[in-house]
Amino acid sequence: MNSQERDQGGVLLDLRDLMTRIPIEGGGVVSAVNGVSFRVARGESLALVGESGSGKSMTALSILGLLPGPGRVTSGQALFNGRDLLALPPEAMAGVRGREIGIVFQDPATSLNPVLTIGRQLTEGLRQHFQLSEAARLDRALELLALVGIADAKDRLASYPHEFSGGQRQRILIAMAVACEPSLLIADEPTTALDATIQAQIVELLKGLQRRLGMAMLWITHDLALVAGLAERVAVMYAGSIVENAPVRDLFRRPRHPYTLGLLKAMPRKDARHHGGDRLVPIPGSPPDLRGQIAGCAFAPRCTMAVDDCRAGRPPLVPVGPGHEAACFKSEEL
Amino acid sequence: MSGTPLVEVRDLSLHFAVRHGVLRRQAGTVKAVDGVSFDIAEGETLGLVGESGCGKSSTGRAVLHLAKPTAGRVRFAGEDLGRLSAPDLRRARRDMQMIFQNPFASLNPRLSVGAGIREPLDIHGLGSVSEREARVNDLLKLVGLDASAARLHPHEFSGGQRQRIGLARALATRPRFVVADEPISALDVSIRAQIVNLMRDLKDRLGLTYLFIAHDLAMVRHMSDRVAVMYLGRIVEIAGGDELFDRPLHPYTKALLSAIPLPDPDAAGDRLVLEGDLPSPSNLPTGCRFRTRCPIAAPRCASEDPPLRDLGSEGAPHPVACHFA
């Protein structure tokens, strides 16, 4: 451990004030990420939750140096083991991705190369990052397939992606992501394309792997209910900013941002007798257009608690309890 | 349920031929829907749940005869849809409409929203030109949109607004029965509740009957009077919403309910996680179709296909297709 790492204590990833802008055709710029900061401790699982367009995936892609096309990080730092990933040259970043940070994306169908065998794709990362013999690589590939619960691993190494089901392909992608034993796994909607019973399998698999390998995890998802059972800490994003960041129990027990509260109220609860009875409480309106400048709190136009202050200036993310931050002027009233 | 049901489905099947090679020889059959029966009473919402490929959307299409059933019968308001002539079926369609997951796909991008909503009225020749215009305005209001929306085009609307437009179009001909195929799946969480509430209000105001197809079990419970669970082309269990969620009897229903993530960090404890994947609907297991993933499967399950047996109480039927329920 070098001195910088000791200064960081248990912090593995320290994201500071990330701003990402995406120019769009015909002029104009989308402010996809607007000053996002969070920390992930070693071995910790943080869920980044938000609806489509909230900036959660763009935040992850910014950290990974994988922004699409014209997208650019305009400011901020992503200190990973004390090293700023955003300042790394592309070759150095390629050495971090797959080796120190594993990645699992949403769609197992398009993330695998259809013309290469599973064995070849599983050992790709090992080939890139380690000096291993062919035999050692194969052994490791078998170990990985067994680790993610693919039966008859030996016979399946020569198979192609189309010979596996969606759930199995996601298992293979997870095996690839953890092949080099990364200290951080970033999973972007890893179960969204899967059916309920398969989703439950993949969630259990990832939780088990996280414990066994001692990895930290950054889960990116739109599904607040899913998060309740898998993350230790949750950061809720809205319109490119984090509006609340809290230990998972505190977030569900006592949300301190009206958007988080609104999301919880908009969900039917299994324990409640909603059927034919209570109505859901929707959040009125729709999310803002991020092409323009937003004065004040981005949620204010949909917020039932908004006052003039909310429309005048943007509320900062401030501590509201132990390990609990919220970006709302009226947070104390919640 | 007393009286004649509005929708009566008996032994409905929808099979597709799987063809291979240049000669398009039939290599197998996908039994998307395979002997499904249920009733829906007037004013009732029947939820239909299951995982992708279980045949729930195909069931919805076959019920409306948008896909011609391979076997079985659908009676709508007492009329056997399979025996209607083409013009009579078209007339019957006014009373039965469908809304889709992606409302954009059912709206012509070149037509204004007003013209898109008016289209079913034009097709069925309902009302004079001015009456149709007035009806479009009423429909927009009914689904919570401003009358000015009529002049805009579908791409100018958000996902939630588009689903409102899809609903307005579906309701144009004043149907009695609406098949809603995953109407909220593509919407963000904060918008879903808006559409669900709207659908419930419309049902109350217009006396609609719904077949609500979805994979989001919590929303299905919220919407439905009764819920049917499908697995590989078959219904494995049907019961009243609360009964099904409180007392699931089929091992698949139990696993499916257990797989729903709950918005409560302390409730996520012991989950019943199924092993394995769904078998292919073109190569079904013998006997009970669920046996390959079932935690309580026995030898009998491989040889004997369990029929639906009513395990409910007086006045509250609860059919289940399991030897050991």
How many domains does the structure of chain B reveal?
1
Q: Are B11 and B62 in contact (CB under 8 A)?
A: no
Q: Is residue B138 part of a domain?
A: no
Say which CATH number the domain at B191 has: 3.40.50.300
Q: How many residues are given for chain A?
A: 334
Say what percent of chain A tops pLDDT 70: 94
Chain B neighbors of A226, CB-CB under 8 A = 261
pLDDT for B270:
65
**pLDDT recorded at residue A276:** 46
B130 at the A interface (CB within 8 A)?
no
The per-residue pLDDT for B1 is 46
Domain for residue B102, yes or no? no
Host domain of residue B40: 7-95+175-261+268-320
- Does an H or E element contain B60, and which? helix B56-63
Can you give the pLDDT at residue B2? Answer: 52
pLDDT band at A96 (very low <50, low <70, confident <90, very high): very high
Put simply, whether A76 touches B (Cβ < 8 Å) is no
The whole-number average pLDDT for the span A239-266 is 95
Examine the predicted complex and report whether its ipTM is higher than 0.95.
Answer: no
Give bridge partners of residue B12 from the DSSP assignment.
B36
In this complex, do B263 and A264 lie within 8 Å of one another by their Cβ atoms? yes
Residue B161 with chain A: CB contacts under 8 Å? 286
Kindly report, residue by residue over B275-305, the tens digit of the pLDDT. Answer: 888 888 888 999 999 999 999 999 999 999 9
* pLDDT tens-digit readout, A233-245: 999 999 999 999 9
DSSP H or E stretch at residue A118: helix A118-129
Q: Among A149, A182, A180, which Cα is nearest to A167's?
A: A149
Per-residue pLDDT tens over the stretch B10-65: 999 999 988 877 778 887 888 999 999 999 999 999 999 998 888 999 999 999 99
Binning pLDDT at 50, 70 and 90, where does residue B269 land? low
What mean pLDDT do residues A176-192 have?
92
Would the CB atoms of B260 and A196 count as touching at under 8 Å? yes
pTM of the predicted model, to two decimals?
0.87
Stretch B240-250: mean pLDDT: 93
A37 burial via Cβ count (<10 Å: 0-12, 13-18, 19+): middle
Which residues of chain A make contact with B214, given a CB cutoff of 8 A?
none
- The conformation of residue A157, written as its DSSP 8-state character, comes to T
In terms of DSSP H, where are the helices of B103-181?
113-124, 129-142, 159-171
* CB-side neighbour CA atoms (13 Å) of B14: 25
Q: Is A208 on the interface with B (CB under 8 A)?
A: no
Judge whether B261 is closer than 8 Å to chain A, CB to CB: yes
Lowest-pLDDT range of A107-111, A121-125, A249-253, B250-254: A107-111
A124 near B CB under 8 A: no
Rounded Cα distance between B306 and B40, Å, is 23
pLDDT tens profile B190-214: 889 999 999 999 999 999 999 999 9
CB spacing of A225 vs B51 below 8 angstroms: no
Which residues in A lie closer than 8 A to residue B262 (C-beta atoms)?
Answer: 225, 228-229, 269-270
Say if B241 is an interface residue toward chain A (CB within 8 Å).
yes
Which residues 150-179 of A have a C-beta within 8 angstroms of B?
165, 167-168
Q: Does B189 touch chain A (CB under 8 A)?
A: yes
pLDDT tens per residue, range A187-232: 999 888 788 888 888 899 999 999 999 999 999 999 998 999 889 9
Does pLDDT of B3 surpass 80? no
Contact B52 A195 (CB under 8 A): yes
Q: Is residue B131 part of a domain?
A: no
Nearest Cβ partner for A200 among B192, B273, B277: B273
Asked whether residue B103 is assigned to any structural domain, the reply reads no
pLDDT tens digit sequence for B147-168 = 999 999 988 888 889 999 999 9
Domain coordinates of chain A in residue numbers?
3-238
With CA atoms as reference, report the closest residue to A315 among A301, A295, A286.
A295
Considering the domain boundaries, does residue B313 fall inside one?
yes
B236 pLDDT more than 90? yes
Residue of B nearest to A224 (CA): B263
Per the structure block, which two tokens stand in for A251? 């977030």
Provide the Cα torsion B226, B95, B5, B194; round to 10°: 20
Query: What is d(CA A128, CA A280) in angstroms, rounded to the nearest whole number?
Result: 51
B230 touches chain A (CB under 8 A): no
Mind listing the pLDDT tens digit for each residue in B74-109? 999 999 999 999 999 999 999 999 998 887 777 788
Q: Residue A9: which pLDDT band, with cuts at 50, 70 and 90? A: low
Compute the nearest-CA separation of B49 from chain A (Å): 11
Q: Does domain A3-238 correspond to CATH entry 3.40.50.300? A: yes
Chain B residues with CB under 8 Å of A268 CB are: 218-219, 221-222
Strand B45-49 relative to strand B226-231, pairing: parallel
Q: Which of A134-143, A270-279, B244-253 has the lowest mean pLDDT?
A: A270-279
